[in-house]
Amino acid sequence: MLRKYIEQYSGSTLTEEEFALVTASFRPRHLRKKQYFLQEGDVSKNMAFIVKGAMRQYSVDEKGGEHIIFLCTENWWVGDRESFTMLTPSRYNIDAVEDSDILVTTSEAFQGLVDKIPAINNMIRTMDQRNSIANQKRIHSAISLTAEERYFSLLESNPALFQRFPQNMIASYLGISAETLSRIRKKPRTTDH
Amino acid sequence: MLRKYIEQYSGSTLTEEEFALVTASFRPRHLRKKQYFLQEGDVSKNMAFIVKGAMRQYSVDEKGGEHIIFLCTENWWVGDRESFTMLTPSRYNIDAVEDSDILVTTSEAFQGLVDKIPAINNMIRTMDQRNSIANQKRIHSAISLTAEERYFSLLESNPALFQRFPQNMIASYLGISAETLSRIRKKPRTTDH
Residues B137-166 have pLDDT tens digits of 999 999 999 999 999 999 999 999 999 999
Chain B within 8 Å of A191 (Cβ-Cβ)? no
Tens digits of residue pLDDT in B84-108: 988 999 999 999 999 999 999 998 9
Query: Do the chains contact at A172 and B128, CB–CB below 8 Å?
Result: no
Q: Using the 8-state DSSP alphabet, how is residue B79 labeled? A: S
Helix (H) or strand (E) holding B29: strand B27-31
Chain B within 8 Å of A60 (Cβ-Cβ)? no
Tens digits of residue pLDDT in A31-79: 999 999 999 999 999 999 999 999 999 999 999 999 999 999 999 999 9
Calpha distance A125→A6 (Å, rounded): 11
Neighbours of B148 (CB within 10 A): 18
Query: Do the chains contact at A143 and B140, CB–CB below 8 Å?
Result: no
Q: Which domains does chain A have, with CATH numbers?
A: 2-116 (2.60.120.10)
Tens digits of residue pLDDT in B35-65: 999 999 999 999 999 999 999 999 999 999 9
Chain A within 8 Å of B175 (Cβ-Cβ)? yes
**Which amino acid, one-letter code, is at B133?**
I
Tens digits of residue pLDDT in A75-121: 999 999 899 988 999 999 999 999 999 999 998 999 999 889 989 98
A2, A6, A9, A10: which is closest to A27 by C-alpha?
A: A2
Report the pLDDT value the prediction gives residue B190, as an integer from 0 to 100. 58
Query: Do the chains contact at B132 and A68, CB–CB below 8 Å?
Result: no
Calpha distance B60→B74 (Å, rounded): 25
ipTM summary value: 0.85
Select the residue from A139, A151, A172 to test the B interface by mutation, using most B Cβ atoms within 10 A. Answer: A139
Tens digits of residue pLDDT in A138-163: 999 999 999 999 999 999 999 999 99
Burial B76-108 (b: 16+ CB within 10 A, else e): ebbbbbbbbbeeeebebbbbbbeebbbbbbebe
Q: A135: which chain B residues are within 8 Å (Cβ-Cβ)?
A: 132, 135-136, 139
Q: Would you say residue A192 has pLDDT above 80?
A: no
A-B contacts (CB, under 8 Å): 87
Chain A within 8 Å of B129 (Cβ-Cβ)? yes
Instruction: Determine contact, residues A96/A53, Cβ cutoff 8 Å.
Output: yes
Chain A within 8 Å of B115 (Cβ-Cβ)? no
Share above pLDDT 90 across residues of chain B, in percent, rounded to a whole number: 79
Cα B104 to Cα B31, B48, B83, B107, distances in angstroms: 11, 4, 16, 10
